Amino acid sequence: MYIFLIGCGVPFAISLLFPIAVKTCIPSSTKPTRWIQNCPPFSVFMLSAFPIAMGIFAVTIFSLKNVNGIDVFAVKTFGTAFLLYGSIIALLLMCGLASVIALHDFTSRPVGPYILKRPMADEAFQLEKELRDGAKTGNVRRRRRTRPKRRGVQATPRSPESTSKVRRYQSLVQLKTLGEIRKHGNLVAAAYLGIGWIGLMCCVFYFWYVAVLVLSNQKLPDGTISKLLAVFILLITWFPMRVHMDWYQNYFHNRDWLKQSNGFWLGIVLAAASLVFVIFITKPEAIAIVCAVVNALVLLFVGLAGKFKPEWLRAVAEALQSMPFLYFVGAYVIFLFVTIAIGIRILNT
């Protein structure tokens, strides 16, 4: 039990830095509690699902090592030292890539005025209030209209004054470099970046750990798969919370907030790949069937979309071509690990 308490308590204590920083750094006149309430990935997920997942994961790791002799850093797990060193290099590569992506996810999009030092924070909070109030007023007016909706009608364009406010606000709440973060960011920005980075590193390690179990063809004891599935289920609760946070922070000034969240979409790829590995551990004999069904479904979707909804395929193509190369490399590394695992597991069956 003490392993669970340590594995759960350490990330919980670290995650407490975010709400404490928000309450400490943000003026009471701006209602700092609303940022705690509307940033559930940090105020809910990191203080509930994530530490519990890490506690279960820590117990699983120590149990497999001490009771069953499965040590992912031991040569006997892989059979040769070459494979062990290769897996460690792969882990370091993924951690380095994930670190760059975590920073890019913060710097590539507007976040919120709560990350800024004064006096920039004062101006940003004032602009945020004006833009948010304007968005609420516009929504009320649209709901009161009695005219029937017509398909394809574009949203009402912003006035020049509103457009200039949006641009100014976005320029304030987007810190594009480490230098800008150090110069204009406050303790909340540091907590946001640090906690987000730690969470991503733990997710990457979970992905790598499960992948090692698959690649080394381990026979797991009863209950282990249930624990790994529980960790996975807890970790993916991050996605709906991240969607809400991004919506709250961006809907009133950026209509394309979800499409531009590259880190969110890459996280979905990582989660899907982790699920594939967990399924392979659960049903190792069904790998070929799973792969064949997935490929058939993808081909069916492409064929039907090309016939009846070609705009869906265009949207996918445009999203791919507009994706930053960094995220493309991240998706490629994840896909590479999954395909290697599939190949090696099939060879061992």
- Asked if residue 198 lies in contact with residue 42, where contact means CB atoms within 8 angstroms, the answer is no
Question: Using CA atoms, how far apart are residues 286 and 143, in angstroms rounded to an integer?
Answer: 51
Cβ neighbours of residue 73 closer than 8 Å, sequence gap 6 or more? 84, 88
Secondary structure element (H or E) that encloses residue 156, with its range: none
Query: Helix (H, G, I), strand (E, B), or coil: what is residue 346?
Result: helix
The token pair that represents 88 in the structure block = 């460690």
Secondary structure element (H or E) that encloses residue 222, with its range: none
Asked if residue 119 has a cis previous peptide bond (ω within 30° of 0), the answer is yes
Quick one: pLDDT at residue 141?
A: 54
Quick one: pLDDT at residue 154?
A: 47
Give the alpha-carbon dihedral of 15, 20, 25, 26, to 10 degrees: 100
- Asked if residue 232 lies in contact with residue 275, where contact means CB atoms within 8 angstroms, the answer is yes
The token pair that represents 287 in the structure block = 């790998």
Instruction: Return per-residue pLDDT of the chain as tens, 349 residues.
Output: 789 999 999 999 999 999 999 999 998 988 999 999 999 999 999 999 999 999 999 999 999 998 888 999 999 888 889 889 999 999 999 999 999 989 999 998 899 999 999 889 999 999 999 998 888 776 545 555 545 554 444 455 556 567 899 999 999 999 999 999 999 999 999 999 999 999 999 999 999 998 888 888 788 887 888 898 889 889 989 988 998 999 999 888 988 887 777 777 888 888 888 887 777 777 766 666 776 777 788 788 888 888 888 887 777 777 777 778 888 888 888 888 878 777 766 666 5
Quick one: pLDDT at residue 286?
A: 65
What's the Cα-to-Cα distance from 34 to each of 101, 123, 175, 289, 322, rounded to whole Å?
A: 27, 18, 22, 48, 33
Quick one: pLDDT at residue 274?
A: 82
